[in-house]
Amino acid sequence: DGGITQSPKYLFRKEGQNVTLSCEQNLNHDAMYWYRQDPGQGLRLIYYSQIVNDFQKGDIAEGYSVSREKKESFPLTVTSAQKNPTAFYLCASRGRGDLIYSNQPQHFGDGTRLSIL
């Protein structure tokens, strides 16, 4: 079945450590997104990519980095500069609808929960 796979499900970060969250999709979608979800808040956009080898900062990119070397993969690195990394991280992708994306829904993975040790 087509879908988005995020791994690991749970991740623990030590102080001063960088950690990388994996996101793979086999939906042949061009656009991919990373969100952070905190209790009582809406999903907040960290980074997005609309094409291979290109990505843009979202609303809360500080302390995070991404790469898009392959269409299927969009890994997120949480760097030591992110001082409050504890959250639920969601990866999503979206297909092209007619001439624009915006009428297409986003397909989400099942998230990675990151905690500080």
Partner 1 sequence: SQKIEQNSEALNIQEGKTATLTCNYTNYSPAYLQWYRQDPGRGPVFLLLIRENEKEKRKERLKVTFDTTLKQSLFHITASQPADSATYLCALVRNNNDMRFGAGTRLTVKP
Determine which residue in the list 7, 26, 69, 110 makes contact with partner 1, applying CB under 8 A.
Answer: 110
Total residues at interface with partner 1 (CB under 8 A): 26
| Interatomic CA distance for residues 23 and 31, integer angstroms | 13
For the chain, give the number of residues.
117
Contact status: 48 vs partner 1 (CB under 8 A): yes
Spatial contact of 63 and 85, defined as CB atoms under 8 Å apart: yes
Contact status: 61 vs partner 1 (CB under 8 A): no
User: Minimum distance from CB of 51 to partner 1 (Å)?
Assistant: 12
Determine which residue in the list 43, 52, 60, 61 makes contact with partner 1, applying CB under 8 A.
Answer: 43
Q: Determine the interface stretch with partner 1 among 14-22, 67-75, 79-87, 106-114 (rule: CB under 8 A).
A: 106-114
Determine which residue in the list 4, 21, 32, 66 makes contact with partner 1, applying CB under 8 A.
Answer: 4
Q: Which residues bind partner 1 (CB under 8 A)?
A: 4, 6, 31, 35, 40-43, 45, 48, 50, 56, 90, 92, 100-103, 105-111, 113
